[in-house]
């Protein structure tokens, strides 16, 4: 029987520990998404509202306009489709790789204001996540379609912090998520653990097919930090 040195045993133990931590992180990431997707019930006919918004031209905030103009001018998205999510306005702007608008939709976001994920939140159990930690982080993310708990496909925005974009769910009717999406005010759009909810048809028919193959870029605008701090390259493109 071959001998394994002390160093070898240490490497084996470290590898086992890393694998265990990775499995735990993956489990927690999927569980956090599942918290938004648990007990999903089909919407009744009167709830099947066309919230998605194929209509273009919704008023854009100055922040959203600046980021959209910057991406178009710099081609920061490369050859990938992209979206800009304005947390303060509760709206998403979707564009193809060439910058052609494909649609706009209301979004639901994390309960708490804030632009940074709490340290280690990706490995926390749901019961350990406090209200102030349920934030939707701001920034530029390379997002890809992947699996989440419940055998559901979601758009993973930041897997390390368990933040994904997926179709809105209505399992907990007390949360009134459809009503929140349909509301004209963005003040009631904060309800999730940090994930981003969008109308079902908009996700299934537009976002998922667009991002399925190679993914895309997601720009999440801040609600507490300065815009230029989150997107430093904006400084080289003055807003007129």
Residue 126 lies in a domain: yes
In a domain, 12, yes or no: yes
Q: What is the pLDDT confidence band of residue 156, given thresholds at 50, 70 and 90?
A: very high
Largest CA distance in the chain: 74
Query: How far is Cα 39 from Cα 41, in angstroms, rounded to an integer?
Result: 6
If DSSP codes are grouped into helix, strand and coil, which group holds residue 120? coil
In degrees, rounded to 5, the angle at the alpha carbon of residue 217 between the alpha carbons of residues 213 and 222 is: 150
In a domain, 2, yes or no: no
Q: Is residue 50 part of a domain?
A: yes
Domain assignment present for residue 1? The answer is no
Give how many domains the chain has, as a whole number: 1
Write the CATH number for 161: 2.40.440.10
pLDDT reading at 19 higher than 50: no
Average pLDDT, the chain: 80
In the prediction, which pLDDT does 63 show? Answer: 97
Boundaries of domain holding 78: 7-236
SS3 content of the chain, % helix, strand, coil (to 5): 40, 20, 40
Tell me the two tokens of residue 179: 């009503």
Q: Do 159 and 189 form a contact (C-beta atoms < 8 A)?
A: no
The pLDDT value given to residue 239: 53
**Three-state secondary structure call for residue 143:** strand
Q: Is the pLDDT of residue 17 over 80?
A: no
Query: Could you tell me if residue 98 is inside a domain?
Result: yes
């Amino acid at each position: 029987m071959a001998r394994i040195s002390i160093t070898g045993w240490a490497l084996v133990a470290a590898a086992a520990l890393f694998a265990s931590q990775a499995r735990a992180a993956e489990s927690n990431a999927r569980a956090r998404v599942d918290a938004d997707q648990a007990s999903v019930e089909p919407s009744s006919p009167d709830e099947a509202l066309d919230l998605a918004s194929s209509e273009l031209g919704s008023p854009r905030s100055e922040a959203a306009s600046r980021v959209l103009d910057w991406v178009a001018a710099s081609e920061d998205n490369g050859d990938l489709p992209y979206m800009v999510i304005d947390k303060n306005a509760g709206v998403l702007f979707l564009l193809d790789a060439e910058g052609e608008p494909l649609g706009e939709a209301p979004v639901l976001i994390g309960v708490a204001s804030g632009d940074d994920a709490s340290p280690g939140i990706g490995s926390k159990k749901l019961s350990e996540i406090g209200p102030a930690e349920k934030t939707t982080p701001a920034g530029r993310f390379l997002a890809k379609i992947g699996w989440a708990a419940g055998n559901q496909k979601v758009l993973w925005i930041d897997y390390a912090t368990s933040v994904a974009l997926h179709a809105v769910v209505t399992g907990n009717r007390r949360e009134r998520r459809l009503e929140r999406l349909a509301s004209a005010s963005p003040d009631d759009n904060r309800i999730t653990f940090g994930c981003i909810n969008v109308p079902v048809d908009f996700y299934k028919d537009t976002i998922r097919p667009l991002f399925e193959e190679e993914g895309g870029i997601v720009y999440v605008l801040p609600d507490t930090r300065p815009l230029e701090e989150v997107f430093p390259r904006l400084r080289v493109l003055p807003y007129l």
